[in-house]
Amino acid sequence: MSRKSPDFKGLVGVYELVKRLRAPDGCPWDRKQTNKSLKYNIIEEGYELIDAIDSDDNRAMMEELGDLLFLVLMHIRIAEEEGRFTLEDVTSGIIDKMISRHPHVFGNVKVNSHDEILENWEKIKKKERKSIFDGISFGVPALLLAQTVGERARRVGFDWPDPHGIIDKIREEIDEFLDASDDKKKLEEEFGDLLFALVNLARHLGIDAEDALRRTVRKFILRFQKIEEAARQKGVDLDNMTLDEMEEIWQSAKKSEF
């Protein structure tokens, strides 16, 4: 005898679905999960959402947002079952925080530009923390982390006045990197300094370093796949192709993009 399909609808329905899966007679796999066992699933789903956004794929974006929402509610339900906090605690907390950080919408503060909104936002958050870097997660991709740190410093005036100063800094970091070529530990340190300087340049130019590198990697893969396709058509193994042969196909792939 088949069970009647439950009628879950809307946001409340998703949470009821989560609760049902976590119930004593629910799904053994879902019941077994903990906040720690699901922590990296959030990162995975977040990246899948980014891919959907970058691909302008609305259907995929809708699906990935659903997966992410489900995981968020799973994390909340697990905490609720353990008596640590509830869905209401989470929702009331974010509502209170967003209202307090938007006095230009919910209060009497007047702002005339995007920059003024950010400056006011930073003043509000400064009252909530001891350091301008409080709340920064080291679990995010390093380029995004570097850009966030640089932006936080900029908001309190610790920054280059224009991109030219950063370009000089990049040249300086390249020289220091080359001088450290015989010392692995120093080499790694100087390479990090160089990357950080490059990210700061991107920030000054209004470029998202994380997105820029992601697009470059995608472009590299697409071009290299042209080499793989050419090898298949010739019946040649990639290992047997010369670098000159691969470079010729690579340059041809580059020209075909314009």
pLDDT in tens, 29-80: 999 999 999 998 998 899 899 999 988 999 999 999 999 999 999 999 999 9
Same domain, 226 and 199: no
Count CB atoms within 10 A of the CB of residue 71: 19
Banded model confidence at residue 3, pLDDT cuts 50, 70, 90: low
Residues in the chain: 258
Residue 191: inside a domain = yes
Show which of 42, 77, 99 is a domain's final residue.
99
Q: Where are the beta strands (DSSP E) in 30-182?
A: none
Average pLDDT along the chain: 89
pLDDT at 226: 87
Residues 188, 228 within the same domain: no
pLDDT in tens, 85-132: 999 999 999 999 899 888 888 988 888 888 788 777 777 777 777 788
Query: What's the domain count of the chain?
Result: 3
Domain contains 192: yes
pLDDT tens digits, one per residue of 203-250: 999 999 998 998 999 899 988 998 888 888 888 888 888 898 888 888
Half-sphere exposure of 251 (CA within 13 A, CB side): 5
In contact, 137 and 170? CB cutoff 8 Å: no
- pLDDT higher than 60, residue 1: no
Q: Are residues 43 and 71 in the same domain?
A: yes
Task: Evaluate the CA torsion angle 87, 92, 98, 101 in order and state its sign.
Answer: negative
